[in-house]
Structure 1
Amino acid sequence: MPDRVDDAEVRHVAGLARVDLDDEEVELFAEQFADILEYFDALDDVPEVESDEELDNVMRPDEVHDGLTQEEALRNAPETEDGYFKGPRVG
């Protein structure tokens, strides 16, 4: 197990995220942060590979096509208003 992430660090991160944590949650997140940092430490064990400087672009060039008209785009919409899609009210 990696070095323990202390409660002050957890509370600092929670404060940056504007999240209120109780003492149990601070303890839980400290353990989870330590586990996450252990995963990052594992990246140090990944060997470096040399990059191939002579790569070819195998992607095709973009082709411009005519898009849908506004009427075509709205044709199957369940509800529209003033030429726009209308969705459910939020909040």
Structure 2
Amino acid sequence: MSNITKEDVKKVAILARLALKEEEISSYTEQLEKILGYVAQLQQIDTQDVPATTRAVEVTNVTRDDTSKITNIRDKLLDLGPQREGEFFRVPKILSD
């Protein structure tokens, strides 16, 4: 396992254009070291027969058939609008001549 140094954190901060205070650099150095230690532990686990997943709990979509049916509610829907002109909604003019 490689050791993370303050210089490593400073270099990454410069590349990421982050302005870090000295106490933040010390804190991040310790945190990154712990994270890498945890990753090293995980690498020791045998995952040869474990299937790859994208989430811990498999989720499936609940869907219904997309079917169409003919209805005669056009007039009812058009009547719900503020103004109607034939088979269309009448709206105020928004463009000038």
TM-score by length of 2: 0.46
Bigger radius of gyration: 2
Q: Higher RCO, 1 or 2 (CA under 8 Å, sep at least 6)?
A: 1
